[in-house]
Amino acid sequence: MMVHSTVPRVLGYMVFLSMALLILPLEAQSPPNEPAALDAAAAILFISREGYAEQEDPEIRRSIDYVAQATENAFSPVGITIRQNQVTDDNLEGISPEQIQVACREAGVRWGITVYTRFSEERLSWRISIYDGAEGFFRASDAFVVSLYVGLSSQTPTESSANTVVQNWQKSFPDQRFDGNFAVSHGQRFSSPQHGIGIYFGSETGIFGGTIEEGELTTPIVLFVEGAPVYGVAVKQGYWSKPFSLPKGITDEVVPLPVLQKKTRHALSFITEFRGIEYYSVDFEYRFHVLRDRFFLKLDWAFWRDESPLSGLERLLHQEVRFSPGLYIQLKKDFPVRIAVGTGVSLAFAGGNINILTDPLWVDLEYHFSQWAVKAEMRVPKVFAYNRGIFGEDKVDSGLYVSFGIMLKW
């Protein structure tokens, strides 16, 4: 009886053990949440373009689109194929890393290459980066800014920027070496007489390199390929930013930065004006810039003296108050050499006598330093309402007036 009762029990144990042995290998072979393998030879190209839809100039459109094309061309020789493009216009923030990783995993590709372009204040800027969808971080990036009016001559820095990303991406793998290129292992030294200038590599939204203090700055170590050109921009609050370049890349030399020009809202000038050597004045001029360093309104007060009055002239001294709008015609707002043109009207008075004068055209030639400038002006005023008590008959209605002065800006 005991034999017959034991057999079913043994058979039950055997069945249970067999089922357990079948189930355990299946669980070991299929761990939960294992991500699919990502193709290391393929990428998604993400393109975000701020301000793109508002630009109708075909030259601008070609320049912006060329950044994406240059990026694709740069990655092709190293075996990366762009499997698909995703375009987002007017995106202020670009594409987030979370969005890139999700898109890469859904498409089965390892790399997400982002191209962010922006058109602002007559400049085209871009930032190119490559994201590792498997590891979950950005491996390399590069940024640059260029004046849009150079048109497609921006192709050279665009191609250089894209190739820099490829080179830095290759250098991000510690177990590989590529054509003898090595990442620079020290910062770059800059100098400037202007305190407080900030250094950005690429564009103003690029890598921050530090601020000039006591005339000099040594930036932290940034991953740049040795010998490859490096571009950047110098910025300071209240000043026009200015791009710079390091054609030989990061070096051991101290690189002087370009002088930044003040963004002018107000200006006060001290002027001496002449018509010949006998008719001269001391002049104070105030300017208010409606558009900074582009369009302004000015008010002059001058005190005149005539050393050789004509017969019948009753007044040797008179004052003049002149109002004039003016416009700078230089290509860039921060050019040191500037030409300003304008027109104006003025009142000349002495005692109870008043004359109205007009300036059909005046021209200024100026040379600007950071916070001050020197200027020369030429004008040919005409008498509109004449009173003999102030001027002789030919004193204002003919002749060239020339002035020289110093301008203070703030």
Residues 114/49, Cβ–Cβ less than 8 Å: no
Helix (H), strand (E), coil (C) string for 346-375: EEEEECCEEEEEEEEEEEEEEEECCCEEEE
Residue 76 clears pLDDT 70, i.e. is over it: yes
Residue 11 clears pLDDT 60, i.e. is over it: no
Distance CA 320, CA 326 (A): 19
Residues 201/140, Cβ–Cβ less than 8 Å: no
The secondary structure of 130-166 as a DSSP string is EEETTTTEEEEEEEEEEEGGGGGGGHHHHHHHHHHHH
- Vertex 208 angle, CA 204 and 213, to 5°: 110
Name which residue leads in pLDDT, 347 or 2.
347
For the chain, the residue count is 410
Residue 29 clears pLDDT 50, i.e. is over it: no
Segment 194-212 shows an average pLDDT of 84
Residues 146/111, Cβ–Cβ less than 8 Å: no
Residue 102 clears pLDDT 60, i.e. is over it: yes
Segment 342-352 shows an average pLDDT of 87
Segment 232-247 shows an average pLDDT of 91
List of domains in the chain: 39-171 (3.40.50.10070), 189-256 (no CATH), 266-409 (2.40.160.20)
Q: Give 119's pLDDT tier (boundaries 50, 70, 90).
A: confident
Residues 69/87, Cβ–Cβ less than 8 Å: no
Looking at residue 23, what is its pLDDT? 45
Residue-wise pLDDT for 41-51, tens only, equals 889 998 887 76
